[in-house]
Amino acid sequence: MKTPITEMFDIEFPIVAFSHCRDVIAAVSRAGGMGVLGAVAHSDEALETDLAWIEDEIGDRPYGVDLIVPARYSGSEEGGLQVADLLAAVPGIHQDFLDELLERYGVPENPDAGGWADRPGDAPFSANRASHQMDIALAHRPSLLVNALGPPPAEMLERCREAGVKVAALAGTTVHAERNVAAGVDIIIAQGTEGGGHTGQIGSMVLLPEVVDAVHPVPVLGAGGIGRGRQMAAAMALGAAGVWCGSVWLTTDEAETHPVVKAKMLSATSTDTLRSRSITGKPARMLRTAWTDEWDRSDTPDPLGMPLQNLFTSSALDRINRAAHHEGSGAEDLATYFVGQIVGDMNRSKGAGQVVIDMVEEFIDAAQAVAAQLEF
Note the pLDDT tens digit of each residue in 250-259. Answer: 999 999 999 9
The residues, ordered by sequence, that sit 6+ positions from 66 with a Cβ below 8 Å of its Cβ are: 18, 36, 37, 38, 39, 40, 145, 146, 147, 148
- List, in sequence order, every beta strand (DSSP E) within the chain: 15-19, 34-38, 64-67, 144-147, 166-171, 187-191, 197-198, 220-223, 242-245, 273-276, 284-287
CA 99 to chain centre: 28
How far apart CA 9 and CA 34 sit, in angstroms, is: 8
Range(s) of the domain holding residue 228: 1-81+122-249
Distances from the Cα of 354 to the Cαs of 2, 104, 251, 350, 360, in angstroms? 21, 42, 12, 7, 10
- CATH number, residue 51: 3.20.20.70
pLDDT score at 117: 59
pLDDT score at 225: 96
Out of 184, 214, 249, a domain closes at: 249
Which residues of the chain register pLDDT less than 50? 74
Assigned domain for 376 exists: no
Q: Are residues 101 and 243 in the same domain?
A: no
Assigned domain for 179 exists: yes
- pTM for this predicted structure: 0.93
Assigned domain for 358 exists: no
Assigned domain for 316 exists: yes
Torsion of CA 292, 70, 89, 128, to 10 degrees: 130
pLDDT score at 271: 97
Residue from 284, 263, 365, 307 nearest 82 by CA: 307
Read off the pLDDT of residues 55-83 as tens digits, 9 standing for 90 and up: 999 999 999 999 986 555 545 555 556 67
Assigned domain for 365 exists: no
Assigned domain for 117 exists: yes
pLDDT score at 6: 98
Domain tally, the chain: 2
pLDDT score at 81: 63
3-state secondary structure of 306: coil
